[in-house]
Amino acid sequence: MSNSPHVPPSATDASQWHGTTILTVRKGGQVVIAGDGQVSLGQTIIKANARKVRRLGKGDVIGGFAGATADAFTLFERLEAKLEQYPGQLMRACVELAKDWRTDRYLRRLEAMMIVADASTTLVLTGTGDVLEPEAHIMGIGSGGNYALAAARALADQPLSAEEIVRRAMSIAADICVYTNANVVVESLASSR
């Protein structure tokens, strides 16, 4: 036990900006990524309608982020540059971004995770250089990611579309995770799987 007095976190301390839920489901000719809109600082909700999911490149890739907002936008910009360099090759663009993320001193300090998808591929990118393809075409990240993931897996065998699954699972996560709200942004693409 420490004898030092408790020091409240600074509003500029990026590690204190946390909490989100991003979920992806690929089913029935559709891939969907959804994210909640809550931005929290400690126990305070700073914003309820942030847009953490968006289209990338020429609109043929969708992505969502969890983590520090400025860091995520930096990564989105870097990924868009890689997509321009490797058009139509999401896997290659993500692997090249992951290499940079692991080796570049500036990028290594970024605190964010991303889920990205195109018509045929869904990937999770992490700051440790991981580029992972989700099991069963479902993945959740962020503070409520595991809640949304469990709900989506439970709903996956039901006669629901990918978007219906994502919306129900995100609602469940919002009911459980205090850092996730029900203000959900959804992006989808036609899927070749």
Instruction: Identify whether the C-beta of residue 161 lies closer than 8 Å to the C-beta of residue 173.
Output: no
Instruction: Identify whether the C-beta of residue 94 lies closer than 8 Å to the C-beta of residue 124.
Output: no
The alpha carbon dihedral of 64, 112, 144, 121 has a sign of positive
Number of H helices, E strands in the chain: 5, 12
Residue 173's Cβ-side half-sphere holds a number of Cα atoms within 13 Å equal to 36
List the catalytic residue out of 12, 20, 74, 122: 20
**20 catalytic, yes or no?**
yes
Residues marked as catalytic? 20
